[in-house]
Amino acid sequence: MAVLSVSELNQKMRAAISKAPFLSQLTIQGEISNFRPSSSGHWFFTLKDQEKGNASSVSCVLYKGSQRQIQVQPRDGLQVELVAKGDFYTTTGEFKLVVSQMKESGEGALYAAFEALKVKLAAEGLFAPERKRKLPYLPKRIGVLTSATGDVIRDILNVLNRRFPNFNLLLIPCQVQGEKAPASLIRGLELANRRADLEVLIIARGGGSFEDLNAFNDEGLARAIVASHIPVISAVGHETDYTICDFVSDLRAPTPSAAAELVLPEYERLQLSLSSIRAELKRRLEGMLRWNRERLKHYAKSPYFKDPSFLLRDRAHSLDRLQDRLLPGLKQVRDLRHTHLQSLRQTLNNEMSQQLARQKERQMRAVTLLEALSPLKVLSRGYTMVKKADSVVGRLGDLKLGDLVQLQFNEGEASARIEKIRSRENGQEDQEFEL
Amino acid sequence: MDKKIKNLSFEEALTALEGELRTLESGKASLEASIEAFTKGTELAAHCQMKLNEAEKKIQQLIETADGVEQVPFDVQ
């Protein structure tokens, strides 16, 4: 065997490596560590991974010229996918990968896409609480989009059985992982929405890694959920897993079993509620009736109702008492008036009497005077009244000789003729007229 | 009134029923109002019971075939 020098070995290595087809362009995935940009501008780092407990690493370089094409910002810990070619450096005997392309891989890339979509859809208002519809209280039929095999559908059925035995469920089998999953789920939503009998839908999938659940971060699926006129409950993964599906649905359940609890109420509890409400209604009404009956009884016992004369008696007493006070009062008034009237009468009588007396006196005086002046009285004293032609002769001058005159005496009359007239007036005997 | 109750969903009827119960519980309602609350409440309770009982147990699965979509009973495997 020929003895090689180091440089000879390195040259052979280099040749061998440049001849290997798989090293001319390969895609490799790993984690960046020892990232250090050099003063020359080139980036040096190590790419490592952990597989089956064994750590492996390889040196990498990203020359300055190639950096323009790279969108990713390399840093330690970042999971990346590289396109590179193998190279062997003869001076240092080092194998290095010369990187031409780099992008985030694995969870990193997925997560970035997830975050970006989340922001985009949120900006469209698709996650807004106002958008979320209220679930029906007692859905007549529940639609479930999940795998027909596995624990998820079984768990859902078990919980529903326990909670509300007479439930009505339609399973729409879908793929819940892998590339075909989003399309399958979208198709399921379509089928569900074509029907008129489903009142609520559950999209369910058990736990898994971020990548396993990534189908539920699909934009098409999110929009299909938004377009669904049936309310959707999202039950994907475990409690700590959040997917776009969770954000855009009308309700998120932390697990598929929790969804089953949210979708139907407990039959037992409802039945108990109804029964107790019924009993309470009855109890309350009976209580009311009883109370009113007691009131009525109590009032009926009152002496006023039992013996109506009771009322009268009271009144009668009052009346009597009033009367007792009334009569004396009246009497008093009457007496007063009476007395007053009497005195008035008395006064009147007195006045009248006095008046009468006075009148009588006047009359008496008048009569007496009249009598005294009466010619008849004069006649009774022996005088005679001379009349001529029925009129009294008061003056001698009225008489002429030969006049026929009537002489009225007290006891009767006589007629005479004037034979002689002698006037005393002048004291001389006037003509004596004689027939 | 009877017609209106028939159209109520379970939840609506239950809420209305609780309302009638509250009227009775308040103790402030007249005797007539109490009797009415009781009557209405009983009707609502009967309606709720009916809704509870009419639920029918059915577990089915959709199958898409070349001809269309079919509904078949589903059994958990």
In angstroms, the CA B61 to CA B43 distance is 37
Neighbour-count burial for A83-105, b at 16+ CB within 10 Å, e otherwise? ebbbbbeeeeeeebbebbbbebb
What confidence tens digit (pLDDT) does each residue in A242-266 have? 999 999 999 999 999 999 999 999 9
Spell out the residues 6+ positions from residue A62 whose beta carbon is closer than 8 angstroms to its own. A42, A43, A44, A45, A70, A74, A98, A99, A102
What mean pLDDT is predicted for residues B35-54? Answer: 91
- The phi, psi pair for A234, rounded to 5°, reads -100, 125
What per-residue confidence (pLDDT) applies to A325? 86
Contact list, A277 vs chain B (CB under 8 Å): 17-18, 21, 41, 45
In angstroms, the CA A105 to CA A112 distance is 10
**Is the distance from CB of A185 to CB of A172 less than 8 angstroms?**
no
Contact list, A289 vs chain B (CB under 8 Å): 31
ipTM of the complex, rounded to two decimals:
0.80
Q: Choose from B17, B22, B24, B26 for mutation: most chain A CBs within 10 A.
A: B24
Sign, CA dihedral A341-A345-A346-A351, equals positive
Spell out the residues 6+ positions from residue A324 whose beta carbon is closer than 8 angstroms to its own. none
What confidence tens digit (pLDDT) does each residue in A168-186 have? 999 999 999 999 999 999 9
What mean pLDDT is predicted for residues A291-308? Answer: 83
Listed residue (A90, A120, A78, A68) closest to A10, CA to CA: A90
**Is the distance from CB of A84 to CB of A107 less than 8 angstroms?**
no
What mean pLDDT is predicted for residues A87-113? Answer: 88
Q: Which residues pair with A252 in a beta bridge?
A: A234
What confidence tens digit (pLDDT) does each residue in A131-172 have? 999 999 999 999 999 999 989 999 999 999 999 988 999 999
What mean pLDDT is predicted for residues A336-348? Answer: 91
In angstroms, the CA B10 to CA B16 distance is 10
**Is the distance from CB of A198 to CB of A171 less than 8 angstroms?**
no
Neighbour-count burial for A1-33, b at 16+ CB within 10 Å, e otherwise? eeeeeeeeebeeebeeeeeeeebeeeebebbbe
Listed residue (A178, A182, A175, A177) closest to A218, CA to CA: A182
Closest B-chain CA to A194: B69
Measured in Å, how far apart are chain B's first and last C-alpha atoms? 49
What per-residue confidence (pLDDT) applies to A186? 97
Name the minimum distance, in Å, from the CA of A253 to any CA of chain B.
21
- The phi, psi pair for A59, rounded to 5°, reads -75, 145
What per-residue confidence (pLDDT) applies to A168? 93
**Is the distance from CB of A228 to CB of A222 less than 8 angstroms?**
no
